[in-house]
Amino acid sequence: MAELNQADIDRLQSAIEAMLSGDARTKEAPAAQLADIKTFFCKYWETVKKVLEFIAGKIGEPVASVIRGLIAIGDTAHKLIC
């Protein structure tokens, strides 16, 4: 299972803070940010998928169905962009 290192956590936290604050950096380089998001998604999708599958197995319907739908969407996105 892939794990986030401190540098990954710091980058993710900075990106989230920038998005929430409307930081100008988020407006200046959208292509670079999309590349980072793509890399992050492709790197961690399988781990996220396993966590979602675990959660779906532990909770009841209809939430489990929604999570399974998210997994299906994530699998399709992963096949298309990674």
**Angstrom distance (rounded) from CA 62 to CA 78:** 25
Peptide bond into 30 cis (omega under 30): no
Residue 1 lies in a domain: no
Residue-wise pLDDT tens for the chain (82 aa)?
A: 456 678 877 777 777 677 666 554 545 555 556 667 888 888 899 999 999 999 999 888 899 999 999 999 999 999 998 8
* Contact by Cβ (8 Å): 26, 75: no
Residue 21 lies in a domain: yes
Q: What is the pTM of this model?
A: 0.56
Domain that holds residue 76: 6-81
The label of the residue with tokens 């100008």 reads 24
Q: How many domains does the chain have?
A: 1
